[in-house]
Amino acid sequence: MHTLPLRTAALLVLVTALLSGTTGCSSTKGKTHETETLTAAELYHDAERALKVGNFPRASQYLRRLQARFPFSPYAEQAQLQLAYAHFRNDRPEKALAAAKRFIRTYPTHKNVDYAYYLKGLVNFERSRNFFDRFLPEAEHARDLQFAEQAFFDFSDLVNRFPDSQYAADARQRMVYLRNLMAEQELLVARYYLRRGAWVAAQNRARYTIEHFPGSPQSVEALDVLARAYEGLNRHDLAQQARQTLALNRDKLPQDSHRHDKRWFQYLWPF
């Protein structure tokens, strides 16, 4: 007596499940091809809006779709540069560098190509900042300087190629900071050798700091290390010369000039 209702109920469950599955697939398909119906202009402007509100993953998605679907559209060139920026702000340094380099190779005469050079420096500048920089600024000289050195050369490349660029002034400031940071690392090693009584090694490091980073605060501080190293080597005449030079230059030593100006972290983006 209950056979028919049970079969009917089972059939209804099966039909409901099939309909739900179809709806789910349709919904998933719709999301997968969300950008397929948008024009090049719509993709570009949606990406711009995402950039402005800080939704960098979404901006990257729309810019990639724009390049894939409309590689020859009027928006393709600028989209490539904006994609590099979106990757940078989305903490994807390798992708940001690859996109910036690709833009430079593809559009070497573009009116905004200077920004691509600037962005390369920013990416490596940020990669040089580690946990200690973010939370323990006094330990910033303990970082691996590989990316700091690359950032210095990136900014130098920008300044040499585009001395009148709107980004050149910021790049020069960052170069000063990076140079002082590298000098600080050399001075740190010189002091280490000094503490261990390795007078020749301390002298060599101090002299390297003075000769390769002239004008930096660390080059003045290195004179003290040099004098103490000479004393350890019983070269009192040279130690006296170093101390005299230090006395003449001590008043030129700026306070905390190697520290980073947090106002720099605004990531210039005028487009």
Q: Does any domain span residue 208?
A: yes
> Mean pLDDT for the chain?
82
Domain span holding position 265: 111-271
**pLDDT at residue 167 in the model:** 94
Q: Does any domain span residue 63?
A: no
Confidence tier at 254 by pLDDT (50, 70, 90): low
Lowest mean pLDDT among 18-22, 88-92, 145-149, 169-173: 18-22
DSSP 139: G
Residue pLDDT, tens place only, 32-69: 457 778 889 999 999 999 999 999 999 999 999 999 99
Q: Does any domain span residue 219?
A: yes
Instruction: State the average pLDDT over residues 13-37.
Output: 52
Task: Tell me the residue length of the chain.
Answer: 271
User: Is residue 31 over pLDDT 70?
Assistant: no
List the CATH number of the domain containing 153. 1.25.40.10
**Residue 230, class by beta-carbon neighbours within 10 Å (0-12 exposed, 13-18 middle, 19+ buried)?**
buried
The share of the chain scoring above pLDDT 70, in percent, equals 73
More confident residue, 251 or 81: 81
**pLDDT at residue 48 in the model:** 93
**pLDDT at residue 216 in the model:** 86
Instruction: State the average pLDDT over residues 147-153.
Output: 93
Question: What six digits make up the tokens of 134?
Answer: 């973010």
Contact 186, 205 (CB under 8 A): yes
**pLDDT at residue 266 in the model:** 56
**pLDDT at residue 36 in the model:** 78
Lowest mean pLDDT among 56-60, 83-87, 248-252: 248-252
**pLDDT at residue 249 in the model:** 84
Q: Please state, in angstroms and rounded to a whole number, the distance separating the CA atoms of residues 117 and 171.
A: 10
Q: Does any domain span residue 13?
A: no
**pLDDT at residue 269 in the model:** 61
Closest CA to 219 of 179, 259, 192, 178: 179
Residue pLDDT, tens place only, 96-117: 999 999 999 999 999 999 999 9
Q: Does any domain span residue 216?
A: yes
As for how many domains the chain has, the answer is: 1
Q: Does any domain span residue 36?
A: no
For residue 148, the tally of other CB atoms under 10 A from its CB is: 21
Task: Give the global pTM.
Answer: 0.74
φ and ψ at 216, to 5 degrees? -80, 155
**Taking every pair of C-alpha atoms in the chain, what is the biggest distance, in angstroms?**
117
Question: What six digits make up the tokens of 190?
Answer: 């010189």
Contact 230, 242 (CB under 8 A): yes
Helix, strand and coil percent figures for the chain, each rounded to 5: 75, 0, 25
User: Using CA of residue 56, residue 161, residue 219, residue 263, what is the dihedral sign?
Assistant: negative
User: Is residue 141 over pLDDT 50?
Assistant: no
Confidence tier at 8 by pLDDT (50, 70, 90): low
Q: Please state, in angstroms and rounded to a whole number, the distance separating the CA atoms of residues 156 and 121.
A: 9
Q: Does any domain span residue 196?
A: yes
Contact 65, 43 (CB under 8 A): yes
Q: Does any domain span residue 84?
A: no
Contact 19, 51 (CB under 8 A): no
Instruction: State the average pLDDT over residues 180-199.
Output: 93
**pLDDT at residue 94 in the model:** 96
More confident residue, 137 or 186: 186
Residue pLDDT, tens place only, 166-189: 999 999 999 998 999 899 999 999
Question: What six digits make up the tokens of 86?
Answer: 């979106």
